[in-house]
Amino acid sequence: MTKYPRARLTAAVVVAFLCGLVFASGSNLTHLGWAQSKTAPKPTLQQVQPLVETQNAFEAIADHVTPAVVSIQTERFARTKTNNRQQRQRLPGGIEDFFRQFDPQQDQPSEASGSGFIVSKDGYILTNNHVVADADKVTVKLLDNRTYNAKVIGRDPTTDIAVIKVDVSDLPTVALGDDANARVGQWVVAIGNPLGLDFTVTAGIVSARGRSLGALLNTRYAIQDYIQTDAAINPGNSGGPLVNIRGEVIGINSAIASNTGFYAGYGFAIPITLAKQVMDDIIQYGKVRRAVLGINIGEVDPNDAQVAGLKDIHGVKVSGFDPADDPDASPAKKAGVEVGDVIVAVNGQSIDRVSTLQRVIRGFKPGETVRLDVMRFGDKKTLNVKLGEPPADRATDVASADESGRQPVSRGTERSYDKLGISVQAVPPELAQQARVGEQWRHGLLVTDISPSGPAYRQLSENTSIIERVLYPQKRDIRSPADFEDIVSKLKSGDLITLMVYDIRPPGATTTVTLKVQ
């Protein structure tokens, strides 16, 4: 082929390609240009509208709720040294910094700040107990800068709730919601006065429910039903409201989990239904009329569920009775509940965890009767318990039995049990005296060593756990190493053994531990 026909063929191909582009462009198949457009289309009005509605909701919440939020300033005058420092040392890691501002030095007057919210037009205000505890003067400031002296009507350290009042009428109030309707993932707003920045609004979601903070309040009946949120909460937010997207208060902001004492993504609020019950009792009776079963409780783990005869892991295990110094006074024990039982239902309502049991029981008053369904090592029992009131708190005894200043445990004749990964000995008299261990707990075996590779690792504690009784596979009080040896020697690898253990650390309580033999 000559070069001219070849040139004509090339020209024809080029012309055909260009004609194809024109045709495709005219048919909306593509656009002329150097490259296909990659620009995303603008959102439609229907797509934008939900975002606008959410923004409007947050604005409405802030406008409606903030006028009923107050800034609380407290003053504490010089006083003798307290045990606050010792108590703070027993708080979970990262929690203690949140309370540091409320711990006055013994020689200097101190000031602290917190938040609260108005619940009645005549001046009743809800806040945290730790905001106003031991305060000599409480001052309340409103959004419009009006300032009033407030009176502490009542406090409940167990729930960290306090009620204060100002003598003013026709105040703005908040609407109280129902925290039972709160779901993980729902929007919430926290309002308060963090770090001296009055009337700050932050938004986030409910990130968990039924959260336990361990020994945060250091009381036997401390709640384990906190609402967890990632709305920013800092020191000074204490006592402020946690509000749902409808503008209803569902919790009282109370604590944060942080290694620095400042916001790190985890805040905790007390459920408003609990707070309202406490508030109503304080206003009507001058104290909290809390119904209790009189038991020490714990979460159920796989081993507990297996020995209880449960098909799945749920319920609440009974690990002891309260008061510890008079267990026969426990309403649950009077009704026939035993250590090692697993509570699976109350009045027909299924119980899956500790927070659920607490939520159900606090719906009753002392003197009322509830029906408990319990699993007792494979057998189901139904028991009727007449609810009682909690015994007086033994805070003084707890503080005096603190571990600080305790002498090292003297070593006696130890016996090791490789099947459980522990060594034990008789309880040394000097330890029992120092830790104020009751006579009924001194006959057991003190755990002196725990193997990191054994089943008891992180289940028992060295020099603080006293094995008092074997509950499964047979019930037997432990009075000597020979008693324990007689049971453990018969166990094979994979068998389960349930122990009742007394922990000498404050506040001093029993627990149950189920171990799988190795």
Quick check: 373 pLDDT over 70? yes
**Can you read off the two tokens belonging to residue 52?**
């606008």
Strand partners, 148: 140
Give the separation between CA 101 and CA 82, rounded to whole angstroms: 15
Using a pLDDT cut of 90, give the percent of the chain over it.
58
Contact 139, 101 (CB under 8 A): no
Angle at 305 between CA 299 and CA 310, to 5 degrees: 125
- Cβ count within 10 A of residue 136: 11
Q: Are strands 248-256 and 175-176 parallel, antiparallel or unpaired?
A: parallel
CA-derived radius of gyration, the chain: 31
Cα(300)–Cα(357) distance, rounded to whole angstroms?
Answer: 13
Q: Is the pLDDT of residue 289 over 80?
A: yes
Local structure of 304: helix, strand or coil: helix
Cβ atoms of 305 and 312 closer than 8 Å: yes
Q: What is the pLDDT of residues 314-333, one digit of tens each?
A: 999 999 998 776 788 999 99
- Cα gap 512→469, rounded to integer Å: 9
Range scoring the smallest mean pLDDT among 39-53, 133-147, 361-375, 452-466: 39-53
Residues in a beta bridge with 339: none
Tell me which of 71, 115, 212, 238 is the catalytic residue.
238
For residue 334, give the nearest of 392, 297, 294, 391 by alpha carbon. 294
Residue 31 is a catalytic residue: no
- In this structure, the strands spanning 69-76 and 110-118 are antiparallel
Closest alpha carbon to 409 in 460, 463, 447: 463
The pTM (predicted TM-score) of the whole model is 0.75
pLDDT in tens, 214-246: 545 555 666 678 999 999 988 889 999 999 999
- pLDDT category of residue 436 using cuts at 50, 70 and 90: confident
CATH 2.40.10.10 assigned to 295-386: no
pLDDT of the residue at 220: 60
Which residue is listed with tokens 């709730």? 161
Fold of 63-285: Thrombin, subunit H (2.40.10)
Catalytic site residue from 71, 130, 254, 465: 130
| pLDDT attached to residue 265 | 75
- State residue 116 phi and psi, 5-degree precision: -165, 180
Can you give the residue ranges of every domain in the chain? 63-285, 295-386, 410-516
Residue keyed to tokens 């899956």 = 352
CA dist list (Å): 29 to 24, 39, 236? 5, 16, 61
Q: Where are the beta strands (DSSP E) in 352-463?
A: 369-376, 379-386, 415-417, 422-426, 445-450
CB atoms within 10 A of CB 393: 15
CATH number for the region 410-516 comes to 2.30.42.10
Q: Single out the residue of 98, 102, 156, 99 nearest to residue 129, CA to CA.
A: 156
Q: Do domains 63-285 and 295-386 have the same CATH topology?
A: no
Contacts of 255 (CB under 8 A, 6+ apart): 95, 98, 213, 216, 226, 238, 267, 268
Check if 238 is active-site: yes
**Mean predicted confidence (pLDDT) in 101-130:** 82
Sorted by sequence, the CB contacts under 8 Å of residue 20 that are 6+ apart come out as: none
Which residue among the candidates 71, 113, 156, 160 is catalytic per the annotation? Answer: 160
What are the φ/ψ torsions at residue 440 (nearest 5 degrees)? -70, -15
Band of pLDDT at residue 362, cut at 50, 70 and 90 = confident
What does the block give as tokens for 183? 């779901």
| pLDDT value at residue 163 | 98
- Report the 10 Å Cβ neighbour count for 27: 8
Catalytic site includes residue 167: no
pLDDT value, residue 85: 47
